[in-house]
Amino acid sequence: MTNSPLPISAADIDAAAAVIAPYAVRTPLLTSPSLDALTGARVFLKPEVLQRTGSFKFRGAFNKLSSIPQAERAGGVVAFSSGNHAQGVAAAAQILGMHATIVMPADSPLSKRERTKGYGAEVVLYDRYTEDREAIAAAIAGKRGATLVKPYDDPFVMAGQGTVGREIAQDMAALGLTPDIVAAQASGGGLVAGIAMAVKAKFPDTAIIVAEPAGFDDHTLSLRAGRPVAHSNEGKTFCDALMALMPGELTFAVNSRLLAGGVSATDAEVGRAMAFAFRDLKLVVEPGGAVALAALMTGKIDARGKVAVIVLSGGNVDADLYAKVINAG
């Protein structure tokens, strides 16, 4: 694995940036004096909650769908997702005039299901504990002649997500700063892999850290083992976007070589980070989008005396759950 070519390059991310530029939001870097005081660091936040569809997923989805040859677009696309990839694919398909079918868990947040339908997609529900979403999606794609759009283990998706890191690197360079740490959440690992590739192309010494829900730390376990391994948690986390069993094959090929390590945060810690984002930043951040922030706030990411960039990867959360979290925090 060490000497094998990686599935994406910085040039692929540059190409993806050109493809998505007319449609994606170039999100800014935000600062918070109170967060700096709390952590003893100079912290910059990348708010992908402001991205089209409310998460970074639109970037990779649009780049992937744009790569499908015109002759193959009539069959449409099929994706499987708990919500953010679903919305990204649905929105990209709507823009490109393609039919989208999304296989979603029946217990995914209602807001994510309804928003996916709102982009014109057909939603097929399944039981995440008894059914295989990939098998369901593959069967639909085969029957309809559709293109299967994986949520992370695809070079075009990974390159699209890497535009987050490309923007971070460009904006930090414009400020005359070198980030010591860049941290982002991971489910299958496409976002953090793309970020790592883009940031390290500009700042090779920056430490890229993956953040995961406590008990769902398959990336951290895999980095330690030197190979993809599954987490053993059979329970639940309210970080519903980050419940992949193990890293993707392509994403781990990148992450095993470029990441500095992993951290995790409990649901309670994530909830407090969400409440902080609401009160201090005036941003709505979903549980799965706030894990890296939670790890920073609790000192699991030790950024004292350093420059750190934290990605807030999504803001799609049910209103009732969000209200409970904010009131508790």
pTM, two decimal places: 0.95
CATH number, residue 263: 3.40.50.1100
Domain membership of residue 204 (yes or no) is yes
Instruction: Name the CA radius of gyration of the chain, rounded.
Output: 18
Query: Do 45 and 70 fall within a single domain?
Result: no
Which residues span the domain enclosing 129? 57-149
Query: Do 191 and 300 fall within a single domain?
Result: yes
Hey, what are 215's tokens? 């008990």
pLDDT tens-digit series, residues 90-131: 999 999 999 999 999 898 878 788 899 999 999 999 998 899
Q: Please identify, among 133, 149, 165, the residue that sits at the C-terminal boundary of a domain.
A: 149
Written as one string, the DSSP assignment of 20-68 is HTTTS-----EE-HHHHHHHTSEEEEEEGGGSGGGBTHHHHHHHHHHHS
Query: Do 128 and 162 fall within a single domain?
Result: no
pLDDT tens-digit series, residues 195-228: 999 999 999 999 999 999 998 999 999 999 999 8
Average pLDDT, rounded, for the chain:
94
Query: Do 50 and 65 fall within a single domain?
Result: no
Domain membership of residue 2 (yes or no) is no
Query: Do 108 and 29 fall within a single domain?
Result: no
Mean pLDDT, range 305-315, rounded to an integer? 98
Mean pLDDT, range 5-20, rounded to an integer? 97
Query: How many domains in the chain?
Result: 2
Nearest-10 Cα torsion for 149, 154, 159, 162? 90
Query: Do 197 and 257 fall within a single domain?
Result: yes
Hey, what are 30's tokens? 């935000």
Domain membership of residue 133 (yes or no) is yes
Query: Do 168 and 233 fall within a single domain?
Result: yes
Query: Do 116 and 68 fall within a single domain?
Result: yes
Choose the weakest-confidence range: 19-33, 173-187, 233-247, 253-267: 233-247
Amino acid 110: pLDDT: 81
Kindly indicate the confidence band of residue 79, based on its pLDDT and cuts at 50, 70 and 90: very high
Written as one string, the DSSP assignment of 200-259 is HHH-TTPEEEEEEETT--HHHHHHHHTS-------S--S-GGG--SS--HHHHHHHHHHE
